[in-house]
Amino acid sequence: MTQPGAPAARTAVLLVDDQELIRYGLRLVLEAQPDLVVVGEASDGVEAVQAAQRLRPDVVLMDVRMPGLDGIEATRRLTAALPETRIIVLTTYDLDEFAFGALRAGAAGFLLKNTRPDELVAAVRAVTAGDAVVSPRITAKLIDAAMPHLAGTGRPASPEALSALSPRELEVFRHVGQGLTNAEIAAALHLSESTVKAHFGRILVKLDLANRVQAVILAYELGVVSVDR
């Protein structure tokens, strides 16, 4: 328990990129914030897994295109070994297939490497608080463009999975797939935002999903949301 007057714990961040200059720039941006601290760096996926298991960071900024073990497999291993650690994948292109693969592997979201410093900081704070990194609409656009890559690339998607959801949970799930935020879903369904969050939490558990990104993907796979919506 934090003692009265004690400083708040800072969010520990691990930087993973094969380019030292990129890591240096990320460190400068993050450590300019009083609530963030870079606890380590890694230049490839193997180093990332080892460093994360040793340092137990709150957040990992993970490049997806690296020699040896790439960011997709590193993300898959880390989400399995350290479920409390949130991973943000970094990519040069907004429709990078590697980034899409990392999202499927359990990353909380993705950022472009040319993201503004304030957006980077906001993203780290957002995942620390348990929110999605990217807006659902951006994720939906990514999935629209990457639909040909969905088939056969992840858990089998069966319509029977939806039978576990209550009618209200199915409504919320459909709205999540359409890219609405919790606040927008609350307004559309005439619910409180806290109620929507509670419904969505149960959806994640029932469908065995890690985060909002995976929920949007599954909504597409199951036909709850269609590309030509």
Q: Where are the domains of the chain?
A: 11-134, 158-221
Q: How far apart are the C-alpha atoms of 105 and 125, rounded to whole Å?
A: 21
pLDDT value at residue 134: 58
Print pLDDT tens along the chain (229 aa). Answer: 445 554 568 999 999 999 999 999 999 999 999 999 999 999 999 999 999 999 999 999 999 888 888 888 999 999 889 988 999 988 886 655 666 777 778 888 788 888 889 989 988 988 887 666 655 555 555 666 555 554 444 454 567 788 899 999 999 999 988 878 788 899 999 999 899 989 998 998 999 887 777 787 788 778 887 655 4
What is the fold of 11-134? Rossmann fold (3.40.50)
pLDDT value at residue 119: 86
Tokens linked to 110: 């993705």
Compute φ and ψ for 2, nearest 5 degrees.
-75, 130
pLDDT value at residue 107: 84
Neighbour tally for 56: CB within 10 Å: 13
pLDDT value at residue 94: 61
pLDDT value at residue 97: 66
* Strand pairing class (36-42; 59-63): unpaired
At the top level of CATH, the class of 158-221 is mainly alpha
